[in-house]
Amino acid sequence: MSSTPTTAPTDTEIALRPAEMHLYKPAEPATAVVTKTEICTAGKKAAGYVRHIEFDVSGTNLVGRAIPGQSIGVLAPGVDAMGKPHKLRLYSLASPTGGEDGQGRILSTTVKRTIDEHWDTHKLFLGVCSNYLCDLQVGDKVQLTGPSGKKFVLPQAAEQHDYLFFATGTGIAPFRGMVMDLLASKANCRVTLVMGTPYATDLLYHEQFTRLAAAHSNFRYLPAISRERNAGPQGPAQHGKLYVQDRLKTDAEELLPLLRSSRTLIYICGIAGMEMGIFQQIATLLSGSDLEQYIRTDAATMEKRANWERSMLHKDIKLSKRIFMEVYA
């Protein structure tokens, strides 16, 4: 009997939901109207200012045609220091497929005000588009482009998988929509969301995720607070400061079976660099074919995993098609 080489499940391309692209471009944007803008941090006095902002896109081709994992472009009015119109800025959608209204008319996003100092002059630096968006009032008009992005969406056969979502900060936006979609579909899949922020007051949509976790036995919500050992009775239960990847260790009893399952897909969104800690932790916890479901590397690279860097990805550290990533510096 001849042996036929088999393709490992890790290498199987996963068919993703079809995503429409670039219905509106900067030269001819869609006009939307702000219908809601509210602070979405757990604490009203959080370290950062983050808003959940909703837009009515009625009368445009965006209705029902933008899905979680995609971004919309925002054109801030005015010109830059060179006198040119401000460049388009992309924001991940936070809304589910049916929009906030169930009809696909109300899209949403999650915006953190960029407030910093210029390194050279130490004068105040305010990010143009994030502050423009956060200043908008209900009824204001805004110019949108998109949608864009088709590689960070849920699979077409969503019910055939389980999900491990890792978010830091505003990287939560796409997962809000995805979690809402998955739970509304009543598909029999396990969904785990690990959300990392510096302080418990910075957690985004914390009440909503806590409520969803209480209502759906297949949904687990695991916050990871990096600068507080214990956030107190109002905060999440944790002992010691945690990064998102630490949850794989502290909650191993629950998360290891999920990692070992051939159904599981891993999605990562947020701050650049977070992915390496997750991969290091996975490489520590798994071995053999369990590990190869996600990561392939050689013995020498495995030995040095404490020093893994982003530059090693796709060369020394190869990721399987079951890992989806969108990280920004």
Q: Which residues bind ligand NAP (CB under 6 A)?
A: 48, 92, 112, 168-171, 173, 196-198, 202, 226-227, 243-244, 269-271, 273-274, 277, 326-328
Min separation Cβ 288 and ligand NAP, Å: 26
Min separation Cβ 94 and ligand NAP, Å: 9
Nearer of residues 226 and 250 to ligand NAP, judged by Cβ? 226
Residue 251's identity, in one-letter code, is D
Min separation Cβ 96 and ligand NAP, Å: 16
Nearer of residues 47 and 79 to ligand NAP, judged by Cβ? 47
Residue 201's identity, in one-letter code, is T
CB under 8 Å to 50, separation ≥6 — which residues? 39, 40, 41, 110, 111, 112, 113, 169, 170, 202, 204
Nearer of residues 53 and 244 to ligand NAP, judged by Cβ? 244
Nearer of residues 148 and 261 to ligand NAP, judged by Cβ? 148
Nearer of residues 29 and 177 to ligand NAP, judged by Cβ? 177
d(CA 316, CA 204): 35
Min separation Cβ 3 and ligand NAP, Å: 42
Nearer of residues 130 and 320 to ligand NAP, judged by Cβ? 130
* Burial zone of 312 (CB within 10 Å; 0-12 exposed, 13-18 middle, 19+ buried): middle
Structure tokens at 283: 């490489």
Is residue 309 within 8 A of residue 276, CB to CB? The reply is: yes
CB atoms within 10 A of CB 233: 6
Nearer of residues 10 and 236 to ligand NAP, judged by Cβ? 236
| Chain residue at closest Cβ approach to ligand NAP | 169
Min separation Cβ 151 and ligand NAP, Å: 11
What is the phi/psi pair of residue 89, to 5°?
-115, 140
What is the phi/psi pair of residue 304, to 5°?
-95, 25
Min separation Cβ 95 and ligand NAP, Å: 14
- Name the β-bridge partners of 168: 196
- Name the β-bridge partners of 204: 41
Min separation Cβ 149 and ligand NAP, Å: 8
**3-class state of residue 97 by DSSP:** coil
